[in-house]
Amino acid sequence: MRDLALRSATELLAALERKEVGSEELLRRFLDRIERLSGTVNAVVTLDADRALEEARRCDAERAAGDLRGPLHGLPMTVKDSFETAGLRTTSGGAPGLEDYVPERDAKAVARLKGAGAIVFGKTNLSTLAMDVQTYNAAFGTTSNPWDPSRTAGGSSGGSAVAMSTGLSALELGSDLGGSIRIPAAFCGVFGHRPSWGIVPTRGHIPGPPGTLAPPDLETAGPIARSAEDLDLALRVLARADERDAVAWHLKLPPPRRSSLADYRLAAWLDDPAAPVDASLRVRLEDVVDELRDAGADVDTEARPGFALADHARLFMRVLYGSMASGLPEGQFRRLQERAAGLSPDDDSFRARLTRDTVQTHRDFDLAREARERQRELWTEFFRRYDALLCPVFPTPAFPHDQSPDMARRTLAVNGVPQPYLGALLGWPALAGLSSLPGTAAPVGFTRDGLPAGIQVVGPYLEDRTAIHVARLVAEVAGGYVPPPGA
């Protein structure tokens, strides 16, 4: 039987309920594994062990008395270090000025998890201010992929995904603006869910700066786990109306559209000239479609949601960098304004577009948002014909570490051809992100090089449970969580 620490949160909660294990014993197992593996993967960067052990003993006593706090009662878990945690250091990847920041209150999503009985005992590593698809920073160093330490774990929730892959925690809370949950989940061979925008609160997430009240465009908070069932479990705790709105309405996510794989109407979009997919990954995803068909699934590989991926990517870039601009330090923003003013009108390089989009006017940003609403209408029509779209999470599997300082000049090799590093965010991760759609990453076996292969399930707006259910069914046929060597 699989090591206790490598089981799903759903299985662990059942074991707690049957009193096969106690919360304190389970927490000590995770702490022992963190001590053993920290030098290899460097996923957990801050611990709150003494307080958590005291809380675990309290949860065990409450369970013995039949007094449960909620569906996560006594479950030890970690959260990404970009979420504020009361009394526990929160640095957002060692961001300047936040190295010793200790919040007075929990981020709203963290508070919901704790309110359901979870024991938050540590924080996981990320890129500084969640601004990279790799996970490293000056304060805590590099988080490595557990399947190949020479490669990245992905980002920005890389520590979260590694903690799940290597059994350092029962459940994780990550965040996703441009793929930061789904990319590391795919790179590390676990499940991750980007919820429909707006259904999980992001207040208390850094960035923006501590104390920010306005919800950022595109950004979501969601779970990373070792099973699709765990994603659904966490979503039931996390997704509900904000307290201010709950006086007038409540959130009730619909159940999955279908009951079995054969009942679903699926589309698959596995490659595109605007976002070429490396053959090592594409071949595996094509095999997954064949395996699904052999299992009785109806998969249409020609269906598209009515727009060109190149146009979608360009629009996502405008919205993404426009939405991120408010989080930049004033001096950096002014320098970008000066650089944009000095650009030639004929310069349409990736770097030039990035600069212009970051300092675009409010009018231009509103025009981009209107264009986004038109694309959302195309998605609505698409999901009248299909239940979900299968597509890559990222153009490649986990790639070698690249910590060169200028991200705008980095490249990513796809089929041996250098592609803009940041441009990889604009294709497949954007399909869910731009239009507020739910996107679930599911592990579907391995590439020919032995690296985890992940597939993305994009679902209809607010039909998160359909996306998660399809991800579960796909993984049952074509993959699922497998512990990495040494775990």
Nearest in space to 119 (alpha carbons), one of 74, 60, 62, 67: 74
User: Is 180 tagged catalytic?
Assistant: yes
How many residues comprise the chain?
A: 487
- From 157, 160, 165, 180, the catalytic residue: 180
Catalytic residue among 8, 80, 165, 435: 80
Smallest CA-to-CA distance from 73 within 140, 28, 26, 141 is with 26
> Residue written as tokens 């607010």?
462
The 3-class secondary structure across the chain, one letter per residue, is CCCHHHCCHHHHHHHHHCCCCCHHHHHHHHHHHHHHHHHHHCCEEEECHHHHHHHHHHHHHHHHCCCCCCCCCCCEEEEECCECECCECCCCCCCCCCCCCCCCCCCHHHHHHHHCCCEEEEEECCCHHHCCCCCEECCCEECEECCEEEEECCCCCHHHHHHHHCCCCCCEEEEECCCCCHHHHHHHCCEEEECCCCCCCCCCECCCCCCCCCCCCCCEEEEEECCHHHHHHHHHHHCCCCCCCCCCCCCCCCCCCCCCHHHCEEEECCCCCCCCCCHHHHHHHHHHHHHHHHCCCEEECCCCCCCCHHHHHHHHHHHHHHHHHHHCCHHHHHHHHHHHHCCCCCCCCHHHHHHHHHCCCHHHHHHHHHHHHHHHHHHHHHHHHCCEEEEECCCCCCCECCCCCCHHHCEEEECCEEEECHHHHCCCCHHHHCCCCCEEEEEEEECCCCCEEEEEEECCCCCHHHHHHHHHHHHHHHCCCCCCCCC
CA atoms of 62 and 65, how far apart (whole Å): 5
Has 80 been annotated as catalytic? yes
Question: Do the strands 141-142 and 136-137 form a parallel or antiparallel pair, or are they unpaired?
Answer: antiparallel
Active site residue 156: yes
The catalytic residue among 23, 144, 156, 323 is: 156
Instruction: Report the catalytic residues.
Output: 80, 156, 180
